[in-house]
């Protein structure tokens, strides 16, 4: 009886010693190994004497992506100033030193095209951006240096070309001019249709969609509306040799997705965004590309849907490289209510806490390649600095991750 009690006590003690937050002993051993390798192999990015990111550290990051053609820079939320500043610094460095000269931003394809045409005529991108580019980029002080940089590079020998890839068009430029320009493009193919009463009704319906209406048309009108969009897409695809018809094909597919999303029929916005990235990459096969968007548009696998990153990853394989961003502490500005939100406190078994306790550099970069991630319960923030993913899942979604010491909220300019 006493020996059985001792045996049970020993089992309890061993279990207690091997448990931390209910993590199995095998997982702790794996996590210890992973933690050691993370600390031994991470890339520390420090500030130089002028307070800028050290070029030698940025060069070390660039070395890791020398095989990459399409670099995707995510973000957990649209309101982290320190992440915006880091992404801007990366874009400038990679453009100046490593040939990345094509920049795709999460904003409407048509809106950004119009902005860039005006910029070439001498207008300021940051002045045109509010009301046309996604508001958290257009109105955040920390993104305007990037817009200034694109402006400054326009007339150089190596400009940074900026385009949009969002399949929905909510900017003022789209509202004012998209239907008119779409009509001109279709007139070159089928002038009779454009001059018919049917087209006039169709154009008004398109305008309602662009205005953000969530009111569906009567069923017969709705069926005709989507049938006409399908015809329009077919026309642009069949006459792809005409100038800009490939662009208008993508715009038309986006209008279908936008209407269906606003009417809550189906949401394949992100999938169409991926098709837009793919199309841009095919138009400029010699360009090295940087994409800027929310992490969950860019992850290499979608979360219960086909997302943009899945489309691009399937099309380009290892030439597509997705980078996630996280932070140890701080605040961000919520794009929902424009109020500051605190990061959740990193869990004991998190990569953010590991680096907070063991490193001093402003930013650390970890790459999944070569790390023993399988079976590990080590966690990282994945969305809004609240929800987490275990290391076992990281490679499903991204290739590497920047971890910032401090997340700061954007300065939102009305």
Q: Which contiguous run of DSSP H or E holds residue 57?
A: helix 55-64
Summarize pLDDT for 387-411 with one digit per residue, the tens.
999 999 999 999 999 999 999 999 9
pLDDT-derived band at 180 (thresholds 50, 70, 90) equals very high
pLDDT at 283: 96
pLDDT at 5: 36
Summarize pLDDT for 262-285 with one digit per residue, the tens.
999 999 999 999 999 999 999 999
Cα separation, 119 vs 159, whole angstroms: 12
pLDDT at 326: 98
Domain ranges of the chain: 172-280
- Does residue 75 register a pLDDT over 50? yes
The mean of the pLDDT values for the chain is 92
Count of C-beta atoms within a 10 Å radius of residue 121: 7
pLDDT-derived band at 9 (thresholds 50, 70, 90) equals very low
Find the mean pLDDT for residues 312-321: 98
Closest CA to 136 of 84, 82, 178, 172: 84
- Tokens at 192, concatenated: 């009779």
Phi first, then psi: give them for residue 338, nearest 5 degrees: 60, 35
The helix-helix angle for 219-238 and 245-262 (nearest 10°) equals: 160
Find the mean pLDDT for residues 16-45: 68
pLDDT-derived band at 157 (thresholds 50, 70, 90) equals very high
C-alpha separations of 94 from 99, 108, 118, 239, 292 in Å: 6, 24, 25, 37, 14
Of the two residues 308 and 32, the one the predictor is more confident about is 308
Summarize pLDDT for 48-66 with one digit per residue, the tens.
878 889 999 999 999 999 9
Buried b (16+ CB within 10 A) or exposed e, 312-343: bbebbeebbbbbbbbbbbbbbbbbeeeeebeb
pLDDT at 47: 86
Question: Of the ranges 82-86, 236-240, 352-356, which one carries the lowest mean pLDDT score?
Answer: 236-240
Buried b (16+ CB within 10 A) or exposed e, 64-86: bbeebbbbbbbbbbbbbbbbbbb
pLDDT at 150: 98
CB 377 within 8 A of CB 390: yes
Find the mean pLDDT for residues 98-116: 98
pLDDT-derived band at 243 (thresholds 50, 70, 90) equals confident
In this structure, what DSSP letter does residue 335 have?
T
CB 323 within 8 A of CB 403: no
Find the mean pLDDT for residues 360-384: 95
- Does residue 4 register a pLDDT over 60? no
pLDDT-derived band at 29 (thresholds 50, 70, 90) equals low
Of the two residues 26 and 180, the one the predictor is more confident about is 180
pLDDT at 30: 56
């Amino acid at each position: 009886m006493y020996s059985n009690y001792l045996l049970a006590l020993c089992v309890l003690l061993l279990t207690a010693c091997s448990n931390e937050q209910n993590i199995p002993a095998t997982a702790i051993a794996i996590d210890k190994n992973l933690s050691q390798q993370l600390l031994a192999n991470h890339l520390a990015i420090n500030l130089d004497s002028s307070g800028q990111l050290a070029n030698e550290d940025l060069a070390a990051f660039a070395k890791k992506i020398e095989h990459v053609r399409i670099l995707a820079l995510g973000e957990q939320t649209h309101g982290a100033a320190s992440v915006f500043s880091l992404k801007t610094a990366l874009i400038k460095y990679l453009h100046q030193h490593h040939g990345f000269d094509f920049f795709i931003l999460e904003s409407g394809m048509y809106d950004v095209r119009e902005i860039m045409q005006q910029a070439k005529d001498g207008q300021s991108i940051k002045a045109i951006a509010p009301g046309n580019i996604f508001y958290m980029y257009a109105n955040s002080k920390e993104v305007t240096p990037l817009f200034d940089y694109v402006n400054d590079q326009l007339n150089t020998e190596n400009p940074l070309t900026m385009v949009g890839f969002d399949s929905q068009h909510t900017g003022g430029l789209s509202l004012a001019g998209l239907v008119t320009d779409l009509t001109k493009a279709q007139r070159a193919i089928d002038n009779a249709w454009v001059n018919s009463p049917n087209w006039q009704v169709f154009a008004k319906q398109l305008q309602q969609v662009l205005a953000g209406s969530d009111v569906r048309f009567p069923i017969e009108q709705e069926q005709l509306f989507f049938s006409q969009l399908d015809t329009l897409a077919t026309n642009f695809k069949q006459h792809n040799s005409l100038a800009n018809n490939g662009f208008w094909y993508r715009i038309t597919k986006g209008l279908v997705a936008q209407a269906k999303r606003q009417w809550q029929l189906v949401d394949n916005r992100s999938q169409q965004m991926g098709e837009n990235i793919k199309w841009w990459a095919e138009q400029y096969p010699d360009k090295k590309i940087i994409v800027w968007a929310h992490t969950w548009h860019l992850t290499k696998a979608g979360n219960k849907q086909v997302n943009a990153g899945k489309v691009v990853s399937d099309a380009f394989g290892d030439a597509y490289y997705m980078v996630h961003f996280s932070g140890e502490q701080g605040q961000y500005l919520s794009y929902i209510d424009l109020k500051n939100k605190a990061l959740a406190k990193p869990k004991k078994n998190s990569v953010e806490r590991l680096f907070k306790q063991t490193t001093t550099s402003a930013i650390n970069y970890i790459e999944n390649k070569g790390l023993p991630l399988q079976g590990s319960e080590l966690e990282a923030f994945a969305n809004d600095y609240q929800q987490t993913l275990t290391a076992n899942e990281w490679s499903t979604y991204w290739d590497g991750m920047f971890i910032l010491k401090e997340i700061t909220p954007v300065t939102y300019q009305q």
